[in-house]
Amino acid sequence: MKQLLWIIILFALAIGVAIATRTYTGNVYLVIEHTMIRVNLHLFVLGLVASVVALYILVRLIAGILSTPDKLSRFGVGRRNRKATQSLNAAGLAYFEGKFQEAQAQADKVLANKEAGDKRILALMLAAHAADQSGNAEARDQYLHDIEKLPEKTQLSRHLLLAESAINQQNDEEAENHLKAAAQINPRLTRLVRLQLRHALDKGNALEILDKVDKLRRAGAMNDNEAEQLSERAYAQLLSLAQDAAGLKACLKRIPDSLKAGALSAAIAQKYAELGLYDKAVAWVNQYYPQNHRADLLSVFVQSAQYLDEYGQQKAIDTADAWLRQNPNDPKLLAALGDLAYHRQLWGKAQGYLEASLRLEPTVHARLTLAKVFEQSQRHNDAQEQRRLALSAMDETAEH
């Protein structure tokens, strides 16, 4: 549009000049001291225009010559800036390809470039991380020292790198300091939370583990399977720290129902037994075994039932017998009933349960318990045979 406007203006001027040359004719007289010069009007106008054009060209030429050094300087600055950008890109690419020494070398080129400007910050961070990955601690510390001189808001990468290094070296105090410093800058950063989780795992801080796992899961930075495994580990650790009934009760309030009924059900029952709360251990198994049928609950059930009174022991046998009616071919449940009957000195019942268990799944424990039952029944040869079979099974297991 602008070009069209200039064409119209020039065309109008050409028409105006053509009309003027036809309308206005005459001469122009120039007086120089005592000399008078007569010049045709048309020629004078053309000469005047030519003089203006020549003067314009001369001025532009002189200005161009005078500005040449500045242009060359700007060209050099631009060229160095482009080189800094290329080196920074090369450093980043090499770092993510695992070529850490090359990444450090390219980052050094950026740092040596006087026109790198703000690119120096990223180059320093890349160089520090590359040196750390390649095991060059001296170079890494020098880069980190340079980063420390930068504004506080740019210190996050330094704190994270130093925290990770301290965690790897099991330097808890230094790791804690740098993690706190990083959290003051950006507490929600995923990488920071992951480092905090690693630190909590190393220290065995169950509550901290649960908190960080929850944050990562909510942020979508941890899949459900990994979160469940770490949470289960933390809850198991909390459970192990319970020293009395009150502590165990407080711990159970934290544990999700899914873990109580699943992976941690046997561990909770065992904890009741360790604290001498045998009636509660039996009650726990009574509640959760019908739901999950976990065989590891049965050993705690048998162990705890021994410490109950006769009524409690008989009730435990009746309860287990009711479970057996629902699943009559469960060898582990049959073996557990055999143990319960043995402790109640019900030799006939114990023999029946144990022999049924052995028909389904021969185990060393069931054979040894059956041998003790036979001893109580004065069947010494049968007891000896069961012990021989148990030893044979143990030898076969050792060979494999």
Question: What's the DSSP call for residue 377?
Answer: T
Domain borders along the chain are 169-241, 309-400
Rounded CA-CA distance 266/293 in Å is: 11
What CATH code would you report for 309-400? 1.25.40.10
Q: In this structure, what token pair is assigned to residue 376? A: 């109580």
Burial-class residue 169 by CB neighbours within 10 Å (0-12, 13-18, 19+): exposed
Rounded CA-CA distance 324/299 in Å is: 15
Write the pLDDT tens digit of every residue in 250-306.
999 999 999 999 999 999 999 999 999 999 999 999 999 999 999 999 999 999 999
* Residue recorded with tokens 């933390």: 234
Rounded CA-CA distance 172/178 in Å is: 10
Measure Cα distances from 40 to 18, 33, 35, 50 in Å: 16, 20, 17, 15
pLDDT given for residue 1 in this prediction: 72
pLDDT given for residue 72 in this prediction: 63
The DSSP bridge partners found for residue 38 are 29
Higher pLDDT, 79 or 60: 60
Q: In this structure, what token pair is assigned to residue 174? A: 């230094």
Write the pLDDT tens digit of every residue in 296-355.
999 999 999 999 999 999 999 999 999 999 999 999 999 999 999 999 999 999 999 999
pLDDT given for residue 325 in this prediction: 93
Rounded CA-CA distance 149/142 in Å is: 11
